Structure 1
Amino acid sequence: MKMKIVRYILLALMLLFCMGACDSARAETITIIDGMNRSVEVPCPPERIVSTTASASELICIFGGMDRIVGRDEYSTFPYDLAEKPVVGSYSKTTNVELALDLQPDVVISDSSMLPETIKQIENAGVPVVVVGMNCELDSIIYNIRVMGEMMGDQKKSEELIGFMQKYTDLIQERTKSLPEDEKPLVYHECKEDKTNAAGTPKDDHVNFAGGINIAHDEAVERPVVSREWVLEKNPDIIIAKLSSSDPDTEEALKLKRDEVISRPGLKDTNAVKNGTVYVYHPFLRRGPRLVGYLLYFAKWSHPELFEDIDPTAVEREMLQKFYGVNPKGTWAYPEI
């Protein structure tokens, strides 16, 4: 009789242990404030994630969530293993709801381009949608890091990443904050051939942040098309152009683009071309936390004497190795200075 009682007690204890283990295995839910200032309840961490914006995809991977991403947008291709994940749309705005829901996600991550009706369809299916900010604005990137770090349950790493970035952005601000206007170079930043950026755009902010003056700052539209005669009249000290996202990140591709820019009629007579201060970068640099390397390049191009001790490429590679866990390849800016 005593042995039976002992067996029942042991069985009860085993059941209680199993129930406790199941409860602890369940993901907790937390409430986060997303980029549209909405309160969204999400699992922490979610087991199955559809990310429709590169802004979030690479951050989820930084926080150890590569295997949790079950669907992505076309632009979520870094870290490189993301390219093997199913695509549910070109980007957030064109998300195919049926494809996304077929992947049985616990949460869908989007940027602000996702249509309200798409968000409603997904949420009506019982799946929360978290909207994140842009991936080329410093404040927005820091916000995204914190939100994704909280959702993935890795606030410690998110603060380490933010600290790494702020170390260098603070350095840029410290070294350029007292520059008089006449020591700031005039910069022509070309986003596409004969198209540039005015006030209110991230690229205008980047030029100013690095201690330069955007020659298109006062134009009436945010992304004006300009003539080469207009550029020559403004006579920039520095010209910055970029490859397209589909171009290879090689020195050859960057050099070809630079050669094309400096050979254009009308630009050949600018101070930038005469002095050899024409630079080209790959958009790989400008996304998410990688923006820190991009801003360091801008600062060194604008004020090489102030940033002689800084190697933007080395900083970028350090960040990729430390936080992304990848051995970086490619050339992202040309020429090196």
Structure 2
Amino acid sequence: MLTKLFGALIALSTVMVPPLSAAEITDIAGRKVEIDLPAKRVLVGEARQIHTIAALTGDQLLDKIVGWRDDFFSKDADSYTAYSERFPAIADLPRFGYVPNNTFDLEAAIALAPDVITLNLESQKVAVESGIEEKAAAAGIAIVYVDFRVDANKNSEDSIRILGQIFGADAKAEEFIAYRRKQVALVVDRLAQAQNLVRPKVFIERAPGNDGENGCCRSFGPYNFGEMVEQAGGRNIAADVIKTTFGNLNLEQLIVDSPDHYIATGSNWAAESKTLRFVHVGRGADLQVARSKLSTLVARTGFGELKAVKTGEVHAVWHQFYGVPYEFVAIQQFAKWFHPDLFADLDPEATFEEFHKTFLPVAYKPGYFVSLNEETH
């Protein structure tokens, strides 16, 4: 009798459990998207979103990912090596092209039956115009936009929360956000209290040496790295000319402005660069080699006239800070370069190492910054 009663209760409880119902996500493009949460199968529209997803999922990084964009190895080879060593199955993930340049194979993506495709905000225009959004919806696949690059300061927290919802890691997302806020506050709060603060002029050059012309001078407006410079107590000179996220200064204007600090962004672009002139900084980078490349960059025509070059305030920073929400590390390092006395006690390397131990499933290795003058690093 008791056995029959117990069986009946189990059956009743099974009937009473409601089926999964779609939840509504508002993505960074302002679109309301319905999706069963957490998602079971995710196609990551830019592989470098892995830097955020890893902080949310840890050892379960690959549990829900069924494919990703093909940019990780070519754009961030050092990080790819770290993650492929930790998660060998990464090598077998299906890879896809980039939506904005029309190399994304939607039919192949549909064949993987993902619940959701996470795209960066800059993909939206082409995704709409090419019919990717409409066709994906018809196949029962949600497209969700996130942004860590176009307006990172505005959109990163919401993007972390969105990925937290998708991967069933809401609590971890809030922990991540709180950590970022705390680390940025160590800089901006101290700057706010500083007396007679003088903001040095800063020029930050986007990926110099990773082109066939060895030209100049791609930079950042009041967003992304440009905004990080301002948060760290500098004055981004490019913001006077560039009003969008990315743009160009001409060399003549750069010479006239003569910044106090020059910063190049760099990464391991050996897989795609034709000239190999870039500054290789990033996980485990050889900083002596990086210094040599940095020295070559500022030997270009006209650079010798810059105050930063004359005084040795020449630096490089890991380019990928511009597209992942680890910018608090760059802000701390910039603050030490711009205001060394004010931030003598701040240790960005220790911050990043702590972040790895707390959030990431891969071990920390230094190499994300370099200066021509070793004493300023």
User: TM range, normalised to the smaller chain?
Assistant: 0.7 to 0.9
From the superposition, tell whether residues 13 and 197 of structure 1 become closer, same or farther in structure 2 (CA, over 3 Å).
same
Spell out the pairing of 1:135-154 with structure 2 (5 A cutoff). 135=149, 137-154=152-169
Q: Which of the pair has more CA radius of gyration?
A: 1
* Larger RCO, structure (CA 8 Å, separation 6 or more): 2
| TM-score, normalising length: structure 1 | 0.86
Deviation at 1:107, TM superposition (A): 1.2
- The answer to whether the 8 Å contact 1:46/1:107 transfers is yes
Per-residue deviation, 1:241: 0.6
Using the alignment, how far apart are the partners of 2:39 and 2:49 within structure 1? 14
Considering only aligned residues, what root-mean-square deviation do their CA atoms show, in Å?
Answer: 2.7
Retained in 2: the 8 A contact 1:284–1:332? Answer: no
Shift of residue 268 of structure 1? Answer: 2.0
- CA change 1:86–1:253 in 2 (3 A) is farther
Q: How many residues align?
A: 329
User: Aligned partners of 2:13, 2:237: CA distance in 1, in Å?
Assistant: 68
| Alpha-carbon offset, residue 220 of structure 1 | 5.9
**Which residues of 2 match residues 246-285 of structure 1 at below 5 A?**
246-247=269-270, 248=280, 249=282, 250=285, 251-285=287-321
Identity %: 25
* 1:119 is aligned to 2:133: yes
Report the equivalent of 2:248.
224
Q: Provide structure 1 residue ranges, at least 5 long, that are not aligned to the other structure.
A: none
Residue number among 116, 121, 134 corresponding to 2:148 in the alignment? 134
Deviations 1:166-214 (A, max 9, x none): 1121222112236688711111111134113354442322222211112
Q: Which residue of 1 aligns with 2:55?
A: 62
Q: Which moved more, 1:174-183 or 1:243-252?
A: 174-183
Matched, 1:12 2:8: yes
Determine the structure 1 residue equivalent to 2:37: 44
Q: Secondary structure at the match of 1:144?
A: helix
Gaps of 5+ in 2: 74-78, 209-214, 271-279
1:214 match: 236
Residue of structure 1 in register with 2:108 after alignment: 99
Q: Does 1:86 align with 2:110?
A: no
Question: Aligned in 2, Cα 1:142/1:293: closer, same or farther, shift over 3 Å?
Answer: same
> Is 2:64 the partner of 1:71?
no
Structure 1 Cα separation of the partners of residues 95 and 107 of structure 2: 12
Assess if the C-alpha contact under 8 Å between 1:195 and 1:225 holds in 2: yes
Contact 1:281–1:333 (Cα < 8 Å) also in 2: yes
Q: Provide the secondary structure at the position in 1 that maps to 2:248.
A: coil
Task: Give the distance between the partners of 2:112 and 2:42, measured in 1 at CA.
Answer: 9
User: Mapping of 1:21-36 within 5 angstroms?
Assistant: 23=17, 27-36=20-29
Contact 1:146 1:155 in 2 (8 A): yes
CA distance in 2, matches of 1:220, 1:39: 32
After superposition, give the CA deviation of every residue in 1:96-151 in whole Å (9 maximum; x if it has no partner).
11111111111111122141111111011111111112347123111111122233
Matched residue, 2:277:
none
Q: Structure 1's 41 and 48: CA in aligned 2 closer, same or farther, altered over 3 A? A: same
148 and 182 in structure 1: CA distance in 2 versus 1, 3 angstrom threshold = closer
Q: Which moved more, 1:57-66 or 1:232-241?
A: 57-66
Compute the displacement of 1:6 (Å).
Answer: 6.4
